[in-house]
Structure 1
Amino acid sequence: MSVGRGRLPGGDRGAHVRGAARRASELAATVPENDRELLVRAAWPHDVGYAEPLRDSGFHPLDGARSLERDGWPRRLVGLVAHHSGASLVAGVLGLEDELARYPREDGPVADALTHADRTTGPTGRRVSVPDRLAEVLRRHGPGSPNALAHPVRAPRLLAIADRVERRLTRLEAVPATGKPGPDHW
């Protein structure tokens, strides 16, 4: 199963996807070892729904999840793509919450790390702060957009996710030389 040529966006969107996948690799240590590959695999197609041939609803997390599901990708990965970066809140504004709810929504280290990888990677693939990325999304989509309408609820959630991931990273730095985390590591 591959995303396939022509499915991953080019230009800035492609640079963003490559940067987000690179960032997911950096964040992989914040998730349980058996989920690290899943995190990185989910980062690559997280924005595949922007590809013109896949557009159906016009909401890229949903369109991407539909495409990945049709292509036989693992259900858990499809759910991560469907719900990345607070997608359920934007889906609510669009009236697509029931369609998005068909896909499993995961809360925890993997979903957090995928969202953080996306939210800390700018449009050109460069690392950015979460507040800067949120501001960029609002500028790009405009003040009356579904992203802007969801922003008052979505932004605090995305900032809380960033805080959780950053705390996990900090705890990793404090792991003793044995490499064995303490009981409150995750």
Structure 2
Amino acid sequence: MDESMVDWATPVAKAELSGPLPRRWAHSQGVAARAVALRHILGTETDLLAAAAIVHDVGYAPRLAVTGFHPLDGARFLRNERGADERLVRLVANHSFALLEAEERGLRKTLETEFPLLKEPLLVDALVYCDMTTTPHGEQTTAQERVAEILSRYGMDSLVGRFIRRAAPEIFAAAARVEAALANQPR
């Protein structure tokens, strides 16, 4: 039997995050749990989403933080050192409207060129939803509460604060689309 992407991705994320960044590891586990809960709307893509969810923040690992922009650093690590699936790498690189933060950092062209955004809106929205409805400790929250938490942690005028304020309407819209898809599923 073939190893699932989640079975492959989990030890990769754990090795990089659990020791140096235990809170980030808890968040990643919570994001992955949210992804599995979307199986009714994603079907066979659930494994890809859950794998991307567990490794989405791997670029925060101190040994991987080359540019200081975790989506790019994580995607490069997954591609170059781990030979990860291209779609998984592109999801990680572009998670939660990373292009907007890349723009703030002067890295938008680099991100777009190396890791083009997937043209699979539900999958992209689903990763946004999972990430932005999970607290830093791995618990469920709302997208609005998560954005407020990020702003309180980084500050309104920080680079991350500017990014998250710009991204907030898109984050809320993505979360609403996923919640609508979930609501339309037969019980």
Q: Same fold (TM over 0.5)?
A: yes
Partner-residue secondary structure (3-state), 2:172:
helix
TM-score, normalisation: structure 1: 0.87
Question: Which of 17, 23, 46 is the matching residue for 1:8?
Answer: 17
Partner of 1:66: 76
Partner-residue secondary structure (3-state), 1:6:
helix
Partner-residue secondary structure (3-state), 1:16:
helix
Partner-residue secondary structure (3-state), 1:39:
helix
Q: What whole-Å deviation, never above 9, does each CA across 1:66-116 have from its counterpart, x for those lacking one?
A: 100112001110000000011110110110101111102024111111110
AA of the residue aligned to 1:109: L
* Cα offset, 1:143, TM superposition: 2.1
- Distance in 2, matches of 1:5 and 1:51, equals 10
TM-score, normalisation: structure 2: 0.87
- Structure 2 gap ranges (5+): 1-7
- The CA RMSD measured in Å over matched residues stands at 1.5
Contact 1:80 1:105 in 2 (8 A): yes
Alignment of structure 1 residues 45-56 onto 2, 5 Å: 45-56=55-66
* Cα offset, 1:35, TM superposition: 1.3
Deviates more, 1:134-143 or 1:78-87: 134-143
Residues 1:29 and 1:104: Cα distance change in structure 2 (over 3 Å): farther
Q: Which structure has the larger Rg over C-alpha atoms? A: 1
Residues 1:4 and 1:162: Cα distance change in structure 2 (over 3 Å): closer
Contact 1:13 1:124 in 2 (8 A): yes
- Distance in 1, matches of 2:13 and 2:55, equals 10
Aligned residues: 173
Question: Which of 160, 168, 176 is the matching residue for 2:173?
Answer: 160
* Identical positions, percent: 40
